[in-house]
């Protein structure tokens, strides 16, 4: 694969501290990833959790060894500096949001990169669909559901979903398009009545912002990358580091390479 100028340049700017904001809409065409970093003793169970729950936790890459800050399949990456903003959790509690984690790095830390909805949103936009959270300029609304994840060791919890409204024919088209992208959450997990999956009020999301739902539109729900963060909070490892929401790892992979078809 040739060097990927836009993504590599943005990542360099992030590494140097020139760019420290959200990455939504930047380096279009390139895969951005959710990040989770855990001590080796917790990494095995977390990987089992992801593999048992691939819709909310699609693993794109895992560092080859504990203490290795590189992810060669995703580009020239140093995970200690290449995310614009991190979140640090100790015993499940958020304690800091640094822009660099060199000072926290240890020889036993294992890095996970998980797929992100930005990839399939780009495919939906390219097909002419309107994505309400983008056209309304807000974060996608996310909701806790009553859909249980398969537990693995201390990692457990219900699935979190994101919601995007579409007229029925576009919902069907969105299902077709997203089915091609299992590594970035894949097809929706639900559509229609929110109460069926334990959501009481679409106007009050648990994360992100509410969006308008117009007459004739169906709410369509995708498994969401916040799910593993909720599982991390439940498991309460002594140390866990993630990206800060919206501040993703920008990779050299193209979104089209995530398509299985």
Least distance (Å) from its own copies to the CB of residue 219?
10
Least distance (Å) from its own copies to the CB of residue 187?
6
Least distance (Å) from its own copies to the CB of residue 140?
19
What are the C-alpha distances in Å from 62 to residues 38, 40, 52, 242, 254?
11, 12, 16, 14, 18
- Considering the complex, state which of residue 104 and residue 175 has its C-beta at the smaller distance from its own copies: 175
- Considering the complex, state which of residue 15 and residue 55 has its C-beta at the smaller distance from its own copies: 55
Gap between the Cα atoms of 235 and 32, Å rounded:
25
Least distance (Å) from its own copies to the CB of residue 167?
8
Report yes or no: 188 and 219 within 8 Å, Cβ to Cβ: no
What are the C-alpha distances in Å from 63 to residues 30, 136, 183?
20, 37, 17
Q: Could you give the 3-state DSSP secondary structure of residue 33? A: strand
- Considering the complex, state which of residue 18 and residue 169 has its C-beta at the smaller distance from its own copies: 169
Least distance (Å) from its own copies to the CB of residue 252?
28
What are the C-alpha distances in Å from 4 to residues 14, 150, 173, 183, 254?
15, 37, 30, 20, 9
Interface ranges with its own copies (CB under 8 A): 167-169, 171-172, 175-176, 179, 187-193, 196, 216, 218, 261
- Considering the complex, state which of residue 179 and residue 256 has its C-beta at the smaller distance from its own copies: 179
- Considering the complex, state which of residue 57 and residue 171 has its C-beta at the smaller distance from its own copies: 171
- Which of 54, 23, 45 is closest to 222 using CA atoms? 54
């Amino acid at each position: 694969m040739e060097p990927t100028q836009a993504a590599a340049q943005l990542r360099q700017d992030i590494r140097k501290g020139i760019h420290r904001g959200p990455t939504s809409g930047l380096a279009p065409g390139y895969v951005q990833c959710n990040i989770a970093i855990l001590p080796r003793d917790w990494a095995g169970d977390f990987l089992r959790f992801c593999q048992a729950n691939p819709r909310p936790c699609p693993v794109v890459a895992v560092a080859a060894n504990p203490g290795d800050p590189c992810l060669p399949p995703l580009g020239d990456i140093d995970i200690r500096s290449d995310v614009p903003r991190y979140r640090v959790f100790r015993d499940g509690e958020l304690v800091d949001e640094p822009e660099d984690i060199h000072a926290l790095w240890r020889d036993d830390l294992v890095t996970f990169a998980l797929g992100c909805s930005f990839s399939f949103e780009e495919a939906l936009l390219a097909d002419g669909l309107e994505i309400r959270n983008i056209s309304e300029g807000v974060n996608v609304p996310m909701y806790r559901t009553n859909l249980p994840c398969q537990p693995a060791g201390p990692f457990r919890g219900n699935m979190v979903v994101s919601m995007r409204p579409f007229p029925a024919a576009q919902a069907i088209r969105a299902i077709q398009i997203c089915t091609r992208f299992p590594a970035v959450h894949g097809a929706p997990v639900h559509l229609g009545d929110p109460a069926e999956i334990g959501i009481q009020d679409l106007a009050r999301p648990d994360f992100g912002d509410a969006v308008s739902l117009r007459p004739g539109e169906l709410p369509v729900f995708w498994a969401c990358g916040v799910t593993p963060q909720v599982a991390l909070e439940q498991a309460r490892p002594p140390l866990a580091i993630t990206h800060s929401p919206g501040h993703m790892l920008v990779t050299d992979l193209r979104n089209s390479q995530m398509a299985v078809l």
